[in-house]
């Protein structure tokens, strides 16, 4: 795995949190993007090499809605950049980690992504992401 590509933060109101994080980081979000399959609207801030991804639920049954219900707002996942997501998924499976998706999914911000089950990672949801060349 490479650097922390982004940290995902679950928020109740993306517009309010965009304002808050713009003040906090001193930079406006560079993109807002819906991932319909995940029932989520995202917004991204560039802070050096690592990004902040804010996540707002767009459907009551989306994973983010469930997370907010159970835990409230806060850090939702940590994403690591990987050079070869298939190889990394294979390696982690061999190490005994549980993948939440068996094939890479199209994520926000031109990434192929895979999540690891937090039960096997000290309750931290881990995302692998590989940049897709456009
Ligand atoms: Co993410």
- Percentage of the chain surpassing pLDDT 90? 92
pLDDT given at position 107: 85
Neighbours of ion ligand 1 (CB under 5 A): 8, 53, 79, 127
User: What are the pLDDT digits (tens) for 56-82?
Assistant: 999 999 999 999 999 999 999 999 999
Give distance in angstroms: CA of 23 to centre of ligand 1: 22
HEC assignment per residue over 54-121: EEEECCCCCHHHHHHHHHCCEEEEEEEECCCHHHHHHHHHHCCCCECCCCCEEECCCEEEEEECHHHC
User: What are the pLDDT digits (tens) for 81-126?
Assistant: 999 999 999 999 999 999 999 999 988 888 999 999 999 999 999 9
Give distance in angstroms: CA of 96 to centre of ligand 1: 22
Give distance in angstroms: CA of 106 to centre of ligand 1: 11
In this prediction, residue 133 has a pLDDT band, given cuts at 50, 70 and 90, of: confident
pLDDT given at position 109: 85
Specify the 3-state DSSP secondary structure of 8. strand
Q: Is residue 10 within 8 Å of 55, Cβ to Cβ?
A: yes
Give distance in angstroms: CA of 48 to centre of ligand 1: 16
- pTM (2 decimals)? 0.92
Q: Is residue 129 within 8 Å of 79, Cβ to Cβ?
A: yes
In this prediction, residue 132 has a pLDDT band, given cuts at 50, 70 and 90, of: confident
Nearest CA to 18 out of 71, 56, 48 is that of 56
């Amino acid at each position: 795995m490479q650097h922390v590509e982004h940290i995902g933060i679950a928020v109740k109101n993306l517009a309010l949190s965009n304002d808050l994080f713009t003040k906090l980081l001193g930079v406006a979000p560079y993109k807002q993007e819906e991932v319909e399959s995940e029932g989520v609207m995202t917004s991204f801030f560039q802070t050096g090499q690592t990004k902040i991804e804010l996540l707002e639920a767009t459907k009551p049954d989306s994973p983010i809605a469930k997370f907010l219900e159970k835990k409230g707002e806060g850090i939702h996942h940590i994403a690591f950049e990987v050079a070869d997501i298939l190889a990394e998924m294979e390696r982690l499976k061999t190490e005994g980690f549980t993948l939440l998706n068996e094939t890479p999914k199209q994520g926000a911000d031109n990434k192929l992504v895979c999540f690891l089950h937090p039960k096997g990672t000290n309750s931290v949801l881990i995302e692998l992401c590989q940049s897709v060349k456009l």
